[in-house]
């Protein structure tokens, strides 16, 4: 691939796209106009509604006999228009005047009525009549003064009043607030009059004032509001920015007949797709930036009375979060749009994709939905939730890592799919191609997997492991480890090989290794831990909680099982299951990238599968060593042996630390340098022994 | 020199081209003649490196196109009647773009563009967006693109389709000029008059197979007809 050619294609596509008024309008014009208009309109409307409502007097139907002092107290509020017995028919009036027939206002709320205002009564005639009055008869609220009230006021007893309102109507809500205020003031006056009457100390009856104050700062409250709205809006708008160019650069180009011209030039399909992808991505990023800038300017300058402005760093982080999202969607849009024969076809294809990608982001608008271990793996939604977390300054580092990790995996898949589509001449010239062929998922009996399938299978296994671990979280460690290893690593590996009809021996490197290579692998397995414990964890020390969790896992919840069983579960099982996938299926699939590319990428996948930023480096380095052994010998037994010895040794050290004190294990946070140097020397000797055997001819590296 | 050796192409169960062989020498114009659907466009696309043959080989000079596609494509200029231009670029910008894709040196590219603009009488519209050009002007810009990197081989797929007589003749003259400069030219048409006027040799294609090949005179002599159209119809009838 030539950078100059990709740049040439990118520049030309960008120039042509920027000359298109529709794209410019969508990219910059829409956000520049949309946010100020939207926010001005909403705030103007809200303000005028609030002012109108504030000015308007609330109409309250008063049912029941009202005592003069209470009547005066209600009138004093000045904003209540009282209508005696309004809308109450004769039967209801008679019922409310008869002390014997007073209905008990039974509360139905599950919390026993603790939640004031949201309680619901058991259905009764008064409630039904009040509902009709409030919803249909022009009354904002109904105040029911139960027959015992007047008597209670007179006799210094306890009387009841009920306020019926409709929580959906803002006018009714306001009427309720006004009524409750007026009633509270009346009650406070009544209580203090009674205290005076009985010569009781002020506050005797009230006992205490309950004050409730919001601790969230104004900025955080503003961020919370933005956190609910902003991710959704930004994602929807950024996606929209890339949508039109993706269609124009693929289906549009086919429709105009220029794709053929480009294909007869001396440029490769990869150069074309990269040039076009960079264009779509750039446009999507410019759109995202235009949206953020316009929104920031609007929020800082326009909204009166509410502090919705955020620090610059929040906007910068938000933009950074949109980088992977726009990457994924740009690649996906291009891949899908390439199937379309013309522009209209492209719109028909991409609109459903757009809806499916953007709509789940609506989840962020629900209060309480936050980023977690599961949501961090849902594409687009994870970034939307992370933007929400960034806005309220609560983005946990591990979830940022998981989100970026899963986004990178999805982005990789998307760009591979797009590249694959662009390699199909028939698709580019307006024909059709089967989707299984495009994905590289067609059956190829007797052959071996390719890089696409290696990456696709990794994504499948990664998703299966994570969702599986959610399902298994209540099971014990033994069950979790065994189900994860056999069910989510080994089983999919075997299914992939069987389904596609690949050769078992070649795909999974099922060969007998030379004894020298086995000895070398054993040395690597026995010493590789020193590299992790002595060097790598100094670079990124894991938190104590992770170390403890790992120890707990390795000791199978500290149950009293014999060491042999622990070895079987956490050393031998992962060694077989994980090696058959990573150094078997994946390494073979990646072989076309050359020894360095295949070994490094398979090791990186191995590290990523352990789903923690702290375990990434140590496991990836182990993966490198195991990868070298299998590449050289073409025998999976080498890496299985090394992996099992590595895990087994670590378990034994935790199981019986007293036998390892001479190595300095457990004496400090890190392994002493002497032990580290010794371990590294043994590992190097092991690698040299492995490399001393001749490169196997029909191994992973052969094509 | 352009050579097709036992080329075949299938799309699923449909065999578009079957065992086609032909050769175009430098300074020679070879016409690929056939009715619509005969497989002309598929053949030319394979020869231009846009489609991969199901079997057979294409040689551009000594370069095998399937093995070294970029090198092969660099020696080919391709033009088709239905090829469109980038609507929002001017012919000059488009030529600069393709010049860079063909990796022509910038100073040589600038000179070459000026040369072509003058030669093909494009001065008046060279800086206007291609979307505003007439079909004749567009085809001239297209010819300029195909000739830009001075390729050894020109592959022209019905280059005069849907053009008026004046532009058609202008293009025919351009083809003759390129032949005089020693280029190997393969062009397809279903208009027999064009072939008679331009071609040194003719290959008749019907239902994906070559039914006859030779000079116009040889074809007429073999068929006993007085013109290429009758000769072609005789072949088509014989082929069923």
- Assess whether B161 and B121 both reside in one domain: yes
As given in the structure block, the two tokens for residue A415 are 């760009």
User: How many domains would you assign to chain B?
Assistant: 2
Q: Would you kindly state where each structural domain of chain A is located, as residue ranges?
A: 3-36+220-442, 53-197, 477-692
* H/E run at residue A183: helix A170-197
Sorted by sequence, the CB contacts under 8 Å of residue A29 that are 6+ apart come out as: none
3-state secondary structure (DSSP) of residue B223: helix
* pLDDT band at residue B50 under the 50/70/90 scheme: confident
Domain end residue (candidates: B18, B49, B74) = B74
- Assess whether B79 and B169 both reside in one domain: yes
- Assess whether B113 and B144 both reside in one domain: yes
pLDDT tens figures, A19-40: 888 778 877 788 888 777 877 7
- Assess whether B96 and B153 both reside in one domain: yes
As given in the structure block, the two tokens for residue A115 are 């939640």
| pLDDT at residue A231 tops 90 | no
A343 vs A543, residue with greater confidence? A343
Percentage of chain A modeled with pLDDT above 70: 85
What does the angle CA A513 – CA A518 – CA A519 come to, to the nearest 5 degrees? 150
In this structure, is residue B63 part of a structural domain?
A: yes
A40 touching chain B per CB within 8 A: no
Average pLDDT, chain A: 81
| pLDDT at residue B52 tops 70 | yes
With b for 16 or more beta-carbon neighbours within 10 A and e for fewer, the A565-575 pattern comes to: ebbebbbbbbb
* pLDDT band at residue B98 under the 50/70/90 scheme: very high
What's the maximum distance between 2 C-alpha atoms anywhere in chain B? 55
| pLDDT at residue A1 tops 90 | no
Sign of CA dihedral A485, A486, A487, A491: positive
Asked if A266 lies within 8 A of B84 by C-beta distance, the reply is no
* Closest to B199 in 3D by CA, of B226, B172, B223: B172
* Closest to A533 in 3D by CA, of A385, A358, A665, A335: A665
In this structure, is residue B216 part of a structural domain?
A: no
Beta pairing class for B184-189 and B209-214:
unpaired
Sheet holding A80-84, edge to edge: A80-84, A58-63, A141-145, A161-164
pLDDT at A115: 42
Question: Which neighbouring-strand residues pair with B77?
Answer: B154
Chain B residue nearest residue A431, CA to CA: B11
- Assess whether B104 and B12 both reside in one domain: no
Sorted by sequence, the CB contacts under 8 Å of residue B120 that are 6+ apart come out as: B140, B143, B144, B174
In this structure, is residue B114 part of a structural domain?
A: yes
Sorted by sequence, the CB contacts under 8 Å of residue A572 that are 6+ apart come out as: A644, A648
Task: Select the residue of A4, A16, A264 nearest B73 (Cβ to Cβ).
Answer: A264
Cα dihedral: B151, B155, B158, B163 (round 10): 0
Size of interface A-B (CB pairs under 8 A): 70
Q: What backbone torsions phi and psi does residue A449 show, to the nearest 5 degrees?
A: -65, 160
Task: Select the residue of A8, A19, A258 nearest B85 (Cβ to Cβ).
Answer: A258
Helices (H) and strands (E) in chain A, counts: 32, 4
* Closest to A264 in 3D by CA, of B86, B19, B154: B154
- Assess whether B129 and B172 both reside in one domain: yes
| pLDDT at residue A305 tops 60 | no
3-state secondary structure (DSSP) of residue B80: strand
Asked if A5 lies within 8 A of B101 by C-beta distance, the reply is yes
| pLDDT at residue B32 tops 80 | yes
pLDDT tens figures, A615-645: 778 889 899 999 999 999 989 999 999 999 9
**Residue A395: left if φ>0, alpha if ψ -120 to 50, beta else—which one?**
beta
Chain B nearest C-alpha distance from A260 (Å):
7
A268 touching chain B per CB within 8 A: yes
CATH entry 1.10.3470 includes domain A53-197: no
Chain B residue nearest residue A21, CA to CA: B88
Q: How far apart, in whole angstroms, are the C-alpha atoms of residue A525 and residue A686?
A: 9
* H/E run at residue B232: helix B228-239
Q: What are the Cα distances from residue A97, in Å, to A93, A128, A132, A165? A: 6, 18, 20, 22
pLDDT tens figures, A537-587: 777 677 777 677 777 776 766 667 777 888 888 889 999 999 999 999 999
pLDDT tens figures, B141-188: 988 998 899 899 999 888 877 677 777 788 888 888 888 988 999 988
A16 touching chain B per CB within 8 A: yes
Query: What ipTM describes this predicted complex?
Result: 0.88
pLDDT tens figures, B58-80: 999 888 888 888 899 999 999 88
In this structure, is residue B28 part of a structural domain?
A: yes
pLDDT tens figures, A133-185: 888 778 899 999 888 887 788 888 888 888 999 888 888 989 999 999 999 99
Contact at 8 Å (CB) between B7 and B43? yes
Chain B nearest C-alpha distance from A268 (Å):
7
Q: What are the Cα distances from residue A173, in Å, to A137, A163, A237, A485, A601? A: 16, 11, 35, 57, 61
Contact at 8 Å (CB) between A660 and A575? no
pLDDT at A155: 84
| pLDDT at residue A117 tops 60 | no
In this structure, is residue B99 part of a structural domain?
A: yes
Least confident of A269-273, B87-91, B95-99, B223-227: B223-227
Supply the CATH number for residue B114's domain.
3.40.50.300
- Assess whether B57 and B84 both reside in one domain: no
B88 vs A534, residue with greater confidence? B88
Chain A nearest C-alpha distance from B99 (Å):
10
Average pLDDT over residues A345-372: 78
* Chain A residues inside the 8 Å CB shell of B85: 258
| pLDDT at residue A417 tops 50 | yes
Q: What are the Cα distances from residue A690, in Å, to A246, A491, A521, A565, A635? A: 49, 29, 7, 30, 11
| pLDDT at residue A406 tops 90 | no
- Assess whether B101 and B24 both reside in one domain: no
* pLDDT band at residue A395 under the 50/70/90 scheme: low
Sorted by sequence, the CB contacts under 8 Å of residue A490 that are 6+ apart come out as: A576, A577, A580, A581
In this structure, is residue B152 part of a structural domain?
A: yes
In this structure, is residue B232 part of a structural domain?
A: no
| pLDDT at residue A116 tops 50 | no
Average pLDDT over residues A605-611: 83
* pLDDT band at residue A433 under the 50/70/90 scheme: low
* Closest to A174 in 3D by CA, of A86, A52, A53: A53
In this structure, is residue B189 part of a structural domain?
A: no
Contact at 8 Å (CB) between B4 and B43? yes
Sign of CA dihedral A247, A251, A256, A259: positive
pLDDT at A662: 74
Helices A397-422 and A312-337, packing angle to 10 deg: 30
pLDDT at A240: 84
Domain end residue (candidates: B130, B153, B182) = B182
pLDDT tens figures, A217-230: 666 666 666 777 77
Q: How far apart, in whole angstroms, are the C-alpha atoms of residue B43 and residue B53?
A: 9
Average pLDDT over residues A93-97: 81
Task: Select the residue of A19, A260, A426 nearest B83 (Cβ to Cβ).
Answer: A260
pLDDT at A582: 94
- Assess whether B104 and B153 both reside in one domain: yes
State pTM to two decimals.
Answer: 0.64
* Chain A residues inside the 8 Å CB shell of B89: 12, 15-16
Least confident of A114-123, A380-389, A527-536, A585-594: A114-123
Contact at 8 Å (CB) between B84 and B138? yes
| pLDDT at residue A70 tops 80 | yes
pLDDT at A642: 93
Output DSSP code: residue A107: B
- Assess whether B55 and B142 both reside in one domain: no
Asked if B101 lies within 8 A of A19 by C-beta distance, the reply is no
- Residue-number span of the structural domain to which B93 is assigned: 75-182
- As a whole number of Å, the CA-based R_g of chain A is 35
């Amino acid at each position: 691939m030539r950078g100059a050619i990709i740049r040439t294609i990118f520049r030309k596509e960008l120039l042509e796209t920027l000359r298109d008024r529709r794209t410019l309008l969508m990219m910059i014009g829409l956000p520049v106009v949309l946010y100020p208009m939207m926010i001005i309109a909403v705030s103007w409307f809200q303000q005028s509604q609030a002012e109108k409502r504030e000015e308007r007097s609330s109409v309250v139907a008063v049912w029941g006999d009202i005592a003069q002092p209470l009547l005066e107290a209600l009138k004093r509020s000045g904003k209540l228009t009282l209508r005696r017995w309004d809308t109450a028919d004769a039967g209801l009036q008679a019922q409310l005047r008869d002390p014997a027939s007073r209905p008990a206002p039974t509360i139905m709320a599950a919390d026993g009525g603790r939640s004031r205002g949201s309680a619901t009564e058991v259905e009764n005639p008064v409630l039904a009549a009040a509902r009709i009055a409030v919803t249909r008869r022009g009354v904002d609220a109904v105040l029911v003064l139960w027959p015992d009230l007047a008597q209670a006021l007179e006799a210094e007893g306890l009387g009841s009043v009920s306020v019926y309102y409709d929580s959906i109507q803002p006018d009714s809500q306001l009427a309720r607030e006004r009524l409750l205020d007026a009633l509270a003031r009346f009650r406070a006056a009544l209580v203090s009059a009674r205290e005076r009457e009985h010569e009781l100390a002020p506050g005797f009856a009230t006992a205490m004032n309950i004050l409730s104050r919001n601790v969230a700062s104004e900025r955080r409250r503003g961020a919370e509001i933005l956190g609910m709205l902003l991710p959704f809006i930004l994602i929807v708008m950024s996606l929209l920015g890339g949508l039109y160019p993706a269609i124009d650069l693929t289906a549009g180009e086919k429709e105009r007949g220029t794709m053929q011209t480009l294909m007869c030039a001396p440029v490769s399909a990869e150069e074309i797709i990269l040039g076009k992808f960079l264009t779509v991505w750039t446009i999507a990023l410019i759109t995202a930036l235009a949206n953020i800038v316009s929104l920031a300017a609007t929020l800082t300058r326009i909204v009166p009375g509410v502090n919705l402005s955020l620090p610059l760093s929040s906007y910068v982080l938000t933009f950074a979060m949109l980088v992977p999202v726009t990457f994924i969607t740009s690649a996906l849009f291009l891949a899908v749009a390439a199937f379309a024969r013309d522009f209209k076809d492209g719109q028909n294809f991409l609109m459903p994709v757009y809806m499916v990608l953007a709509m789940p982001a609506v989840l962020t608008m629900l209060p309480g939905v936050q980023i977690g271990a599961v949501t961090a793996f849902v594409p687009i939604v994870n970034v939307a939730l992370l933007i929400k977390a960034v806005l309220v300054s609560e983005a946990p580092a591990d979830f940022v890592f998981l989100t970026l990790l899963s986004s990178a995996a999805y982005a990789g898949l998307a760009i591979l799919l797009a590249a694959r589509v662009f390699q199909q001449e028939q698709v580019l010239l307006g024909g059709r191609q089967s989707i299984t062929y495009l994905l590289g998922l067609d059956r190829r009996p007797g052959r071996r997997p390719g890089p696409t399938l290696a990456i696709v299978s990794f994504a499948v296994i990664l998703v299966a492991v994570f969702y599986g671990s959610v399902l298994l979280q209540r099971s014990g460690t033994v069950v979790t480890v065994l189900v994860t290893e056999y069910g989510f690593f080994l089983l999919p590996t075997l299914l992939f090989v069987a389904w596609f009809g690949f050769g078992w021996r070649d795909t999974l490197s099922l060969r007998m290794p030379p004894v020298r290579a086995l000895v070398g692998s054993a040395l690597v397995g026995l010493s590789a831990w020193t590299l992790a414990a002595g060097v790598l964890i100094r670079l990124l020390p894991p938190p104590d909680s992770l170390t403890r969790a790992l120890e707990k896992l390795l000791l199978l919840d500290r149950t009293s099982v014999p060491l042999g069983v622990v070895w079987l579960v956490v050393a031998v099982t992962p060694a077989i299951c994980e090696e058959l996938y990573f150094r078997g299926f994946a390494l073979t699939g990646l072989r076309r990238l050359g020894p360095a590319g295949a070994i490094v990428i398979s090791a990186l996948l191995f590290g990523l599968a352990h789903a923690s930023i702290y375990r990434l480096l140590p496991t990836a380095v182990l993966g490198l060593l195991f990868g070298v052994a299998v590449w050289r010998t073409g025998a999976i037994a080498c890496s299985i042996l090394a992996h099992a010895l590595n895990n087994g040794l670590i378990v034994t050290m935790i199981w019986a630390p007293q036998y390892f004190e001479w190595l300095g294990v457990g004496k400090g946070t890190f392994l002493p340098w002497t032990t580290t140097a010794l371990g590294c020397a043994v590992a190097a000797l092991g690698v040299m022994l492995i490399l001393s055997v001749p490169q196997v001819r029909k191994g992973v590296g052969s094509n | 020199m352009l050579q097709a050796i036992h080329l075949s192409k299938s799309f699923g169960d449909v065999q578009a081209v079957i065992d086609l062989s032909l050769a175009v020498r430098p300074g020679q114009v070879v016409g690929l003649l056939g009715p619509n659907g005969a497989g002309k466009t598929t053949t030319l696309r394979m020869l231009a490196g846009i489609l991969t043959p199901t079997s057979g080989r294409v040689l551009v000079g000594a370069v095998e196109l399937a093995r070294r596609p970029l090198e092969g494509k660099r020696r080919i200029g391709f033009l088709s009647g239905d090829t469109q231009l980038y609507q929002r670029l001017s012919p000059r910008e488009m030529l600069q773009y393709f010049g860079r894709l063909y990796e022509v040196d910038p100073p040589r590219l600038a000179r070459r563009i000026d040369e072509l603009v003058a030669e093909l009488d494009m001065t008046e519209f060279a800086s206007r967006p291609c979307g505003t050009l007439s079909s004749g002007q567009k085809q001239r810009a297209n010819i300029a693109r195909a000739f830009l990197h001075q390729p050894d081989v020109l592959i022209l797929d019905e280059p005069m389709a849907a053009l008026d007589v004046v532009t058609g003749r202008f293009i025919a003259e351009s083809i003759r000029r390129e032949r005089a400069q020693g280029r190997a030219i393969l062009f397809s048409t279903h208009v027999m008059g064009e072939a008679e006027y331009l071609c040194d040799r003719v290959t008749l294609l019907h239902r994906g197979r070559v039914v006859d090949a030779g000079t116009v005179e040889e074809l007429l002599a073999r068929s006993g007809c007085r013109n290429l159209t009758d000769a072609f119809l005789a072949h088509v009838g014989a082929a069923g």
